[in-house]
């Protein structure tokens, strides 16, 4: 039996897992499931959860897993439950370093509409990038405070390059307190 914590930037789950008679058992969030987990090609898995059949892609990232549910991807950090609790008490937050806005595509930064120290709301346009001959508003992924702006207008950026860093804040869905 192993107990783990699975977290996204704004949600946390706890699961107990064990393996018996070629089946995985999962308990957590008030439910218990019997799972047949069989790997397919290309990091895809066939799951039969209590008789319900699913197919999901799971790719290993540097610090967690990317799960493709249908057509969207979700990033998860999976860690030992006890360690997660200790980290929480110590105030260590693995998601804090995720408080970044990165370039969704390679392109040219045309304008920067925010400054360090600004409080911004989710979906507020922060930058304008030109890519594929289109001007794209790059919007804030969260409500928070800007710590640093890593690019200047006229700069060419690669996909995934950091554009903006936010002050660490555990729950990006909730407004930052005064």
Partner 1 sequence: MTTTIRKILIANRGEIAVRIARGCRDAGIISVAVYSDPDRMAYHVRVADEAYALGGTTSAESYLRQDKIIETARKCGADAIHPGYGFLAENHDFAALCRENGLIFIGPSPEVIALLGDKVQARRVAEKAGLPVVPGSVQNIEQVDVARIEAYRIGYPVLIKAAAGGGGKGMRIVNDPDGLGAALSTAASEAGSAFGDRRVYIEKYISRPRHVEIQILGDAYGNVIHLGERECSIQRRHQKVIEESPSMIVDDAMRAKMGAAAVELAKAAGYVGAGTVEFLVDENKHFYFLEVNTRLQVEHPVTEMVTGLDLVQEQFKIARGEKLSIRQEDVGRRGHAIECRIYAEDAAAGFIPCTGHLSAYQEPSGPGVRVDSGFIAGDDVPVYYDPLIAKLIVWGADRNQAIQRMRRALNEYVVQGIETTISFGRLVMDNESFISGRLSTHFIEDEFADLAESLTRSDGDIRLAAMTAALVDYRLQLRLLAVSRRAKSEENPWKISGRQAGLRKR
Binding residues for partner 1 restricted to 45-64, rule: CB under 8 A: 45, 47, 49, 54-60, 64
Residue 117 or residue 160: which is nearer to partner 1 going by CB? 160
Choice between 40 and 117, CB closer to partner 1: 40
Q: Contact at 8 Å (CB) between 50 and 34?
A: yes
Its sign, for the CA torsion 128, 129, 134, 139, is negative
Closest by CA position to 175, among listed 149, 148, 145, 146: 145
The residue (of 96 and 110) whose beta carbon lies closer to partner 1 is 110
DSSP string, 8-56: -SS-EEEEEEEEETTEEEEEETTEEEEEEEEE-STTEEEEEETTEEEEE
Residues 127-156 that bind partner 1 (CB under 8 A): 131-139, 141
H helices of the chain, where?
A: 81-90
Q: Is 159 in the site for partner 1 (CB under 8 A)?
A: yes
**111 near partner 1, rule: CB under 8 A:** no
Position among 86, 92, 105, 121 found at the interface with partner 1 (CB under 8 A)? 105
C-alpha dihedral over 55, 63, 17, 58, to 10 degrees? 10
Of 37, 48, 108, 145, the one binding partner 1 by CB under 8 A? 37
Binding site for partner 1 (CB under 8 A): 2, 4, 6, 8, 11, 13, 15, 17, 19, 24, 26, 28-29, 33, 35, 37, 41-45, 47, 49, 54-60, 64-65, 67-74, 76, 78, 104-106, 123, 131-139, 141, 159
């Amino acid at each position: 039996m192993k107990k783990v914590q699975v977290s996204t930037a704004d949600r946390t789950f706890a699961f107990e897992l064990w393996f018996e008679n070629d089946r995985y058992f999962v308990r957590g969030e008030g439910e218990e499931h019997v799972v047949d987990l069989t790997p397919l090609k290309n990091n895809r898995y066939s799951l039969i959860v209590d008789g319900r059949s699913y197919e999901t892609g799971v790719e290993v990232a540097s610090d967690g897993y990317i799960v493709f549910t249908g057509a969207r991807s979700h990033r998860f950090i999976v860690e030992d439950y006890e360690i997660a609790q200790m980290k929480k008490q110590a105030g260590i937050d693995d998601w804090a370093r995720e408080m970044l806005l990165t370039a969704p595509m390679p392109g040219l930064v045309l304008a920067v509409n925010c400054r360090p120290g600004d409080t911004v709301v989710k979906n507020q346009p922060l930058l304008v990038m030109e890519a594929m001959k289109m001007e794209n508003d790059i919007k804030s992924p969260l409500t928070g405070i800007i710590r640093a702006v890593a690019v200047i207008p006229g700069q060419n950026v690669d996909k995934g390059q950091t554009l903006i860093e936010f002050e660490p804040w555990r729950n990006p869905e909730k407004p930052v307190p005064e």
